[in-house]
Copies of this chain bind each other. A is one copy, B any other.
Amino acid sequence: MLSKKTQYAFHALTYLAENKDKGPVLISEISQERQISLKFLENILLELKKAGVLGSKKGKGGGYYLIKPPEEVKLAKVIRMLDGPIALLPCVSLNYYEKCENCQEEICGLNHVMAEVRDNTLKVLENKTLADVLRSSAS
């Protein structure tokens, strides 16, 4: 399951996407509109900024804004930034590979199946973007 952090990130990002013409948006506005704890959201937006998804501006008239158009923000990237690996086993993770302790990969049958799961998952998450997730797109 996605952590609250990642779920909140998606809420915030879609809010920013829906309001991208209004210039920088206050953390507090997103927090209110999407019912997310202000201080927690601060951390999340900061992470998204450091990861290169958001830009920010300080002082009056400041706030956060999307740095790229929604069509270019892949869902997979957002998940990886905040939750880490998407794969179900470390030994089949593309971005966070780690060797499994208890099995030799050559003869372990599980990793083949889990690699297949990973590919099927990424088929969606690498091709869908923020634009596919906007509220307005549902209407």
A residues near B, CB below 8 A?
1-2, 7-8, 10-11, 14, 34-36, 75, 84-85, 87-90, 100-103, 106-110, 112-113, 116-117, 120-121, 123-125, 128, 132-135, 137-139
Contacts A2-B88, A124-B113 given; indicate if A102 touches B137 (C-beta within 8 A).
Answer: no
Distance in Å: Cβ of A37 to nearest Cβ of chain B: 11
A102 touches which of B35, B89, B121, B132 (Cβ 8 Å) = B35
How many of these chains are in the complex? 2
Contacts A102-B7, A124-B120 given; indicate if A109 touches B14 (C-beta within 8 A).
Answer: yes
Distance in Å: Cβ of A33 to nearest Cβ of chain B: 10
List, in ascending order, chain B residues with CB within 8 A of A106's CB.
138
A89 touches which of B1, B36, B135, B138 (Cβ 8 Å) = B1
A108 touches which of B101, B112, B135 (Cβ 8 Å) = B135
List, in ascending order, chain B residues with CB within 8 A of A120's CB.
120-121, 123-124
List, in ascending order, chain B residues with CB within 8 A of A35's CB.
101-102
List, in ascending order, chain B residues with CB within 8 A of A88's CB.
1-2
